[in-house]
Amino acid sequence: MSQTQHAATDAQSATAARAAMAAGHLTAVAYLEACLERIAASEGSVRAFAAIDLPAARRAAEAADRQGRPGLLGGIPVGVKDVIETAALMTGHGSPIWAGFRPRGDAASVALMRAGGGYVLGKTVTTEFASRHPGATANPWNLAHTPGGSSQGSAAGVAAGFFPVAFGTQTAGSILRPAAFCGVTGYKPSFGTIHRGGMKVMSENLDTIGAIGRCLADCALLVAAASGRGELPPGPAGSAPRIRVTPGPAAALLSQETRALLADVAARLSAAGATVVDARLPPAVLAAAEAQPIVMSGETAQALAWEFAEAAAQLSPGMRTNLAAGAALAPGVLDAARHMMAMAGAAYLDWMEGSDLVLTAAAPGEAPEGLGWTGDPACNVLWTALHGPCASLPAGFGPKGLPLGIQLVGRLGADAAFLEAAQWVEAKLRWPA
Amino acid sequence: MSQTQHAATDAQSATAARAAMAAGHLTAVAYLEACLERIAASEGSVRAFAAIDLPAARRAAEAADRQGRPGLLGGIPVGVKDVIETAALMTGHGSPIWAGFRPRGDAASVALMRAGGGYVLGKTVTTEFASRHPGATANPWNLAHTPGGSSQGSAAGVAAGFFPVAFGTQTAGSILRPAAFCGVTGYKPSFGTIHRGGMKVMSENLDTIGAIGRCLADCALLVAAASGRGELPPGPAGSAPRIRVTPGPAAALLSQETRALLADVAARLSAAGATVVDARLPPAVLAAAEAQPIVMSGETAQALAWEFAEAAAQLSPGMRTNLAAGAALAPGVLDAARHMMAMAGAAYLDWMEGSDLVLTAAAPGEAPEGLGWTGDPACNVLWTALHGPCASLPAGFGPKGLPLGIQLVGRLGADAAFLEAAQWVEAKLRWPA
């Protein structure tokens, strides 16, 4: 491990920890202490946390052990992206305008996670209002590189072994891109799966709460609990999935190594028994990638109308520019973009008939150098706008030794089938091999 | 006017006030003072306000006059339902759990309304979390009767002339029913029209912010401003609309006078030139009325997971029962209900081909006696679940001298056409005649 590498590839997943706890080999307190050791060693460099309360976390772990760790997440520490409200810890939305804000209650997602046995370890750094302007978090694989954004503290914290799983949110590529850059797993469930009450929603028609974790099963555990599902999500599918491969609408932006990775993964999955075909996205589906920036821009300008009116000086210059552009959109343009997005979502469902998954790139390449830019969400925008489930899985390394990820996409509302098929793929990739 | 009647049928609409201000016959301060006089005379009986700050309102009116009252709502005082956050006034969600809560910022809808020239006159009483357990508000037409709910302070306040227009929210019938009971106008725009950031959302797939006002033009002004539209909504249509009349799925609950009203209005509109046909709702559309209670129940239980876990003793007994039932729904049942609702919405759009409006009842009859029950939303549930625009217009009086309303329904996303056609109907009804 290099001087600057803080990625904990050996940290135990939530799923493995739950099994060890059930077998009597592990306590919630011992699991937490292992996380706290990594935090003590690396948080000064990684800066994943916006807020943390160690005594409260220890009390929660002790209580979980005392109570027998009931629920899907019994005894599991969870990171919470700092655009999601928590009663016990401040919620700052990545903006000085909200610095030190103490909500009265927990967001719906956090309350359901806690009702499912998990507990809040800390708030994780977000870019400004989950948009572009970055926080201080560094990539645990190389501190000179961005962890991606906007769910940057969640992705970096999972990679560094600070917690096995965390909440993220995605409007364009804010779960999948940082997960790919940090060599961990991201899962954005179908739009509408997790209630957004108590989240600072930017785009009503795009924002989706999801999970970043050490594996798909960890992500699925958190999403199941946070969506009020008391049941364990399904394991890997028995039968091999039918997969459509496409570089996606951002094909021109993909690095050589990302193109090679995609071809390599397709070949491996085909060799493992999957039906893999190259596919072309029809214009009716690609239209969602044109609509997404308009919907995001117009709706974000509405979401931040108070901040723009009352505290514009505390917004980043880029945000001010974007909000002004969003507010200046003709209403008919925003309406038309919403309609176009909905039509494209329907066209995508038709196009996917007879297939289980899309396989595409999770990001153009490795995490860019520098902490001033969180990278390009161009590989994620289309799929977010189509509203179906997406996941990024770590699948290799680039020339700078940083992780590369692939993206899998399913159908709106069919998350159980998506997770089954995606876990089949994950099992075949088994990374590190 | 009877001893107990506080309805101000002569109060000036926002639209009329704007015209008078533009002509130099009225100032924002003078308009506010007229409202404050009615508040001083009647608020002790009507109890429409959850919070009010008179000096702040006066400062806002003075500032509007100084600045020439720019914007769609320049100089207009607005009531804000107390499930919508305001930085300047506490936001209590109709629950002791949130009593005295001071948000840091304004909700998106409030900030956009203010950016459009309006100002917050006060927070209006809501039932507990915009659900069933009523607040203290009385019906200005007869204080022994409910004003309806959940937007009870907004409806009663408009009827009493406290403000010309107010925000309401609707999950089942929370805008249209109280508007009908109070003899004022309610408008729930298409689902998704107004950003819900900073609103305490119960059902992600149903909750819609809308307006209660003295006429459709007033409601349209507020919705236009709060959805970031700088343009005036259209006036009445030139050509007569094509109208489908149906008692709706709650036909068995309609009072004799409501049935007679519906027939009378249909006859009057037909005589005025509209194409009016009796219509039967197909089962594919009616399915939304079956799905709505499941979606509302399941999603509300998620929304209030924190309150249920941490402060159940401060919830009403009925709310506790409903939340427990919602949380106990099998996830597959909630998923299926959401899907059924979406399919019914699509079937409704097909069914409406060739028509402009549905004409149906806004409520089963007059406002029930007593303040313990806000009445039955059975006439509204289907149309809310179909996601299109709906309005209730005052259209007569019942045997107890209380107002009766009719409901008009349009197509999802076609609010401009809906408002044109609905204003044609409003002009023909012209009430009081």
Judge whether B372 is closer than 8 Å to chain A, CB to CB.
no
Query: Is A408 in a helix, a strand, or coil?
Result: strand
User: Is the distance from CB of A5 to CB of A142 less than 8 angstroms?
Assistant: yes
User: What's the pLDDT tens digit per position in A3-31?
Assistant: 568 999 889 999 999 999 999 999 999 99
pLDDT cut 70: percent of chain B above it: 98
Are B305 and A112 inside 8 Å of each other by CB? yes
**From A151, A174, A203, A316, active-site residue:** A174
Residues of A in contact with B98 (CB under 8 A): 104
**In one letter, which amino acid is A168?**
G
A196 interfacial to chain B (CB closer than 8 Å): yes
A387 lies within 8 A of chain B by CB: no
User: Is A120 strand, coil or helix?
Assistant: strand
When CB atoms are compared, the residue of A195, A200, A229 closest to B331 is A229
* Contact by Cβ (8 Å): A114, A145: no
| Domain regions of chain A by residue span | 14-239+389-429
Separation CA A17–CA A189 (nearest Å): 23
CB atoms within 10 A of CB A238: 7
Are β-strands B390-397 and A119-124 bridged in parallel, bridged antiparallel, or unpaired?
unpaired
Q: What are phi and psi of B139, to 5 degrees?
A: -80, 120
Calculate the CA B215 to chain-centre distance: 12
Task: Report the gap between the CA of B420 and the closest CA in chain A (Å).
Answer: 17
For A379, phi then psi, to 5°, come to: -80, -10
**pLDDT higher than 60, residue B172:** yes
Choice among A54-68, A223-237, B396-410 with the minimum mean pLDDT: A223-237
Q: Which of A13, A42, A131, A150 is catalytic?
A: A150
Question: What is the Cα–Cα distance from B425 to B236, expressed in whole angstroms?
Answer: 8
Alpha helices in A304-414 (DSSP H): 305-310, 317-328, 331-351, 381-386
Which residues of chain B are within 8 Å of residue A229 when distances are taken between CB atoms?
331
Q: Among partner residues B195, B204, B339, which is closest to A195 by beta-carbon distance?
A: B204
> Which CATH code of 3.40.50.720, 3.40.1080.10, 3.90.1300.10, 2.60.120.260 fits the domain covering B14-239+367-429?
3.90.1300.10
Q: Is A315 on the interface with B (CB under 8 A)?
A: no
- Measured between beta carbons, the chain A residues lying within 8 angstroms of B301 are 228
| Number of Cβ within a 10 Å radius of residue A237 | 17
Is A98 touching B (CB cutoff 8 A)?
A: yes
Distance of CA B207 to the CA centre of its chain: 12
What tokens appear for A126 in the block?
């977000």
- Superfamily covering domain A14-239+389-429: Amidase signature (AS) domain (3.90.1300.10)
* Residue A370 CB neighbour total at 10 angstroms: 11
Closest of A101, A152, A103, A91 to residue A127, by C-alpha: A152
Residue contact A331–B227, C-beta within 8 A: yes
Confidence of residue B1 (pLDDT cuts 50, 70, 90): very low
* Contact present, A233 and A335 (Cβ < 8 Å): no
What single string gives the DSSP state of each residue in A2-66? -TT----TTPPPHHHHHHHHHTTS--HHHHHHHHHHHHHHHHHHH--EEEE-HHHHHHHHHHHHH
Cβ contact A310–B105 (<8 Å): yes
- Contact between A140 and A46 under an 8 Å Cβ cutoff? The reply is yes
| Inter-chain residue contact A107 with B306, CB threshold 8 Å | yes
Per-residue pLDDT tens over the stretch A290-306: 999 999 999 999 999 99
Q: How far is CA B250 from CA A66, A398, B271, in A?
A: 52, 63, 27
What's the burial of B267, exposed, middle or buried (CB within 10 Å: 0-12/13-18/19+)?
exposed
| Cβ contact A111–B229 (<8 Å) | no
Is residue A312 within 8 A of residue A279, CB to CB? The reply is no
Under 8 Å CB-to-CB from A374, ≥6 apart: which residues?
A127, A132, A134, A146, A147, A148, A149, A150, A152, A177, A178
Return the beta strands (E) in B142-218 as ranges.
165-170, 185-188, 208-213
Query: Does the beta carbon of A169 lie under 8 angstroms from any beta carbon of chain B?
Result: no
Alpha helices in A212-330 (DSSP H): 216-226, 256-271, 283-303, 305-310, 317-328
Q: Which residues pair with A80 in a beta bridge?
A: A123, A167
- A81 among known catalytic residues: yes
Q: What is the pLDDT of residues A255-299, one digit of tens each?
A: 999 999 999 999 999 999 999 999 999 999 999 999 999 999 999
When pLDDT is cut at 50, 70 and 90, the band that residue B248 belongs to is very high
Tens-place pLDDT, residues B49-85: 999 999 999 999 999 999 999 999 999 999 999 999 9
Instruction: Check CB contact under 8 Å for A302 and B108.
Output: yes
Helices (H), B304-316: 305-310
Query: What interface predicted TM-score (ipTM) does this complex get?
Result: 0.95
pTM of the predicted model as reported, rounded to 2 decimal places: 0.97
- Kindly determine whether residue B306 and residue A106, on different chains, have CB atoms separated by under 8 Å: yes
* b (16+ CB within 10 A) / e for B305-338: bbbbeeeeeebbeebbebbeebbebeeeebbebb
> Do A134 and A373 form a contact (C-beta atoms < 8 A)?
yes
Decide if B310 and A105 are in contact by the 8 Å CB cutoff.
yes
